[in-house]
């Protein structure tokens, strides 16, 4: 990031080079504040259908009103403090969720584990690191700056982990689930670690492979160019197997390559959104590099940029990858006359051939919203967050909002905005949408705003798609009766044909549930 262009983002990250020495209370527990706040989202600007045709048809068939509503639960820390940054990173997988609080000032960070039971999220565990080199009291390690989950393994980035000899080199911690309990099993560091490399600023995990970004890593004369490190798990032990740098790295790249990482199987994306600073006064648009794994070796196969990219767009700031589809955020892109409105770009491809197919923007986009701050994708659905923070260093304060999250759906190869979601209790400056996660019908949103009088304490919102049941119309009832009559006639016709062919002795032998029986042999209940 360029502080001159984006001072609020730099402020939210809070004095990144501070060597904190003042002890502060450790994190305790969190509590889930459940509000039965059901809302249907905001229609697309300019009208138009909400949601995909498939979703609308499904809702109609089930007797649900469209658009689908969302049941919201707000999660806050019971002992929350200013600058906790709770909700900085969020993950959701089934009935399991992880919410980080990197706490960048005067205390270590933490990751909070939640489980859903009877529709309510409850905290089950608090994860904190046990570093190989214990820091002094009050050290800010930024534990929880990045998260990635694969099966029963959780990878947590901690880009300011302190080495007593080298300084804040950064690390990533491996946690494994056993007997319902998450436990730290290993701390990973770079083989050529150096102070302020920001190793662990981004992490990606898939099976026995991990890729960890260090976006300020030095490589010879190419100062702070950035790097990505590959680790593999063999027999329960993780070891570094590769270090990857961009093929076109140049001196002064600054907080670039490795600033974001995502992986799906044998394909990975590494973002290089652009520098915090530049030796020549320029701020490139940013890029994302496609890596492919062949016989255990990862290689760069393509560099992706936006077709209409401009200096300082921060293309690659956020990433999502699923099979042959990639979504790449450019949170500082100007849209028309709207400075830093932000955008996201969709790419399709496989192997060494990826092509930009669509540019996504908010239907109600405004200047400095920073759409594309966060991205999550699950099948044909995607979430794009905009934290809506005024970062104009020259003009008057812009009209802040709580922030928004936009739901996009893909149909026939095209992405369309279906809903805009906002927090039920949102106020200006909440930064709702700082991070997002999506799993089936559940979404999780991080918000970096104030809680009570605590600045940047942060919160997280869990939202579950629910249907608003409506009474069936007379037309629907008539259509259902016609459908049942047709099905009955079809069964009777089949029975008549079988009797004619001598396959059935009597109509009594016809069993419409024959192919739907359970083990007991009794028909299912309607």
The 10s digit of each residue's pLDDT in 128-139 is: 999 988 888 888
CA-nearest of 441, 406, 267, 280 to 349 is: 267
Distances (CA, A) of 518 to 136, 487, 511, 525: 62, 22, 14, 11
Q: What is the pLDDT of residue 50?
A: 29
Check pLDDT > 60 for residue 260. yes
Q: What is the pLDDT of residue 170?
A: 96
- Band of the pLDDT at 501, cuts 50, 70, 90? low
pLDDT, mean over the chain: 78
- Band of the pLDDT at 254, cuts 50, 70, 90? low
For range 283-305, the mean pLDDT: 93
CA-nearest of 33, 35, 40, 32 to 70 is: 40
Q: Which residue has the higher pLDDT, 67 or 227?
A: 227
Q: Strands, E, within 143-266: which ranges?
A: 146-150, 153-158, 162-163, 167-168, 171-178, 181-188, 199-206, 209-214, 227-234, 237-244, 260-264
Check pLDDT > 70 for residue 323. yes
DSSP line for 294-356: ETTEEEEEEEE--TT--TT--EEEEEEEETTEEEEEETT--BTTBTT-BEEEEEEEETTEEEE
CA-nearest of 36, 29, 27, 28 to 120 is: 36
Q: What is the pLDDT of residue 350?
A: 76
Check pLDDT > 80 for residue 483. no
Q: Tell me how far the alpha carbon of residue 128 is from its chain's centroid.
A: 21
Q: Which residue has the higher pLDDT, 472 or 290?
A: 290
Q: Distance between CA 383 and CA 376 in Å, rounded?
A: 5
For range 302-325, the mean pLDDT: 94
- Token pair 């990973």 is found at 188
Give the three-class secondary structure for 470: coil
Check pLDDT > 70 for residue 58. no
Q: Distance between CA 194 and CA 227 in Å, rounded?
A: 12
Q: What is the pLDDT of residue 19?
A: 24
- Tokens encoding 38: 């059901």
Give the three-class secondary structure for 450: coil
* 274-283 pLDDT per residue, tens: 754 455 556 7
Check pLDDT > 50 for residue 163. yes
Q: What angle do CA 277, 109, 75 make, to 5 degrees?
A: 105
Check pLDDT > 50 for residue 182. yes
Q: Which residue has the higher pLDDT, 38 or 115?
A: 115
Q: What is the pLDDT of residue 484?
A: 65
Check pLDDT > 50 for residue 127. yes
- Tokens encoding 366: 């405004």
Burial of 199 (0-12, 13-18, 19+ CB in 10 A): buried
* Per-residue DSSP letter, 509: G
Q: What is the pLDDT of residue 71?
A: 76
Beta pairing partners, 97: 92, 114
Q: SS3 breakdown of the chain: % helix, strand, coil, rounded to 5?
A: 10, 45, 45
For range 107-131, the mean pLDDT: 92
Among residues of the chain, what percentage have pLDDT more than 70?
A: 69
* 430-459 pLDDT per residue, tens: 999 999 999 987 999 999 888 888 999 999
Yes or no: say if 457 and 59 are a contact pair by the CB < 8 Å rule: no
CA-nearest of 144, 143, 112 to 126 is: 112
Q: Considering the entire predicted model, what is its pTM?
A: 0.78
Element (H, E) at 485: helix 474-500
């Amino acid at each position: 990031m360029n502080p001159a262009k984006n001072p609020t983002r730099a402020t939210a990250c809070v004095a990144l080079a501070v060597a904190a020495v003042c002890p502060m209370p450790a994190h305790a527990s969190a509590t889930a504040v459940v509000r039965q706040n059901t809302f249907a989202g905001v229609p697309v600007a300019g009208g138009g259908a909400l949601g995909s045709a498939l979703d609308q048809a499904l809702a109609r068939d089930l007797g649900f009103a469209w658009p689908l509503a969302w049941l919201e639960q707000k999660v806050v820390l019971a002992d929350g403090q200013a600058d906790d940054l709770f909700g900085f990173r969020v993950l959701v997988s089934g009935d399991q969720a992880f919410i980080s609080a990197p706490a960048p000032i005067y205390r270590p960070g933490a990751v909070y584990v939640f489980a859903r039971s009877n529709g309510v999220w409850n905290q089950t565990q608090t994860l904190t690191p046990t570093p190989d080199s214990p820091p002094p009291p009050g050290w800010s390690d930024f534990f929880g700056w990045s998260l990635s989950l694969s099966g029963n393994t959780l990878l947590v980035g901690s880009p300011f982990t302190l080495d007593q000899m080298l300084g804040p080199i950064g690390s990533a911690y491996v946690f494994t689930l056993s007997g319902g309990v998450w436990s730290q099993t290993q701390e990973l560091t770079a083989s050529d670690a150096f102070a302020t490399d920001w190793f662990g600023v981004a992490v990606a995990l898939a099976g026995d492979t991990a890729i960890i970004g260090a976006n300020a890593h030095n490589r010879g004369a190419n100062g702070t160019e950035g790097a990505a490190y590959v680790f593999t798990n063999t027999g329960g032990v993780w070891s570094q197997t590769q270090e990857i740098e961009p093929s076109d790295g140049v001196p002064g790249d600054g907080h670039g390559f490795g600033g974001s990482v995502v992986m799906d199987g044998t394909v990975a994306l590494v973002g290089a959104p652009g520098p915090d600073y530049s030796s020549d006064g320029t701020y490139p648009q940013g890029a994302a590099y496609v890596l492919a794994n062949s016989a255990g070796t990862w290689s760069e196969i393509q560099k992706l940029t936006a077709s209409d990219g401009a200096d300082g767009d921060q293309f690659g700031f956020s990433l999502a990858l699923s099979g042959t589809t990639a979504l790449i955020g450019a949170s500082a892109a100007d849209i028309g006359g709207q400075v830093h409105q932000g955008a996201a770009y969709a790419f399709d491809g496989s192997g060494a051939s990826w092509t930009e197919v669509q540019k996504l923007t908010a239907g109600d986009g405004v200047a400095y919203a920073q759409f594309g701050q966060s991205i999550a994708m699950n099948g044909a659905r995607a979430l794009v967050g905009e934290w809506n923070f005024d970062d104009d260093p020259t003009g008057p304060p812009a009209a802040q909002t709580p922030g928004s999250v936009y739901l996009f759906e893909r149909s026939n190869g095209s992405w369309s905005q279906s809903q805009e979601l906002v927090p039920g209790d949102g106020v200006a400056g909440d930064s709702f949408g700082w991070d997002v996660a999506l799993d089936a019908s559940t979404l999780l949103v991080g918000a970096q705003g104030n809680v009570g009088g605590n600045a940047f304490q942060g919160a997280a919102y869990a939202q579950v798609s629910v249907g608003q049941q409506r009474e069936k119309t007379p037309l629907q009832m008539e259509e259902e009766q016609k459908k049942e009559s047709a099905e009955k006639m079809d069964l009777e016709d089949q029975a008549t044909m079988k009797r004619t062919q001598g396959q059935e002795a009597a109509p009594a032998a016809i069993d419409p549930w024959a192919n739907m029986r359970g083990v007991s042999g009794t028909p299912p209940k309607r």
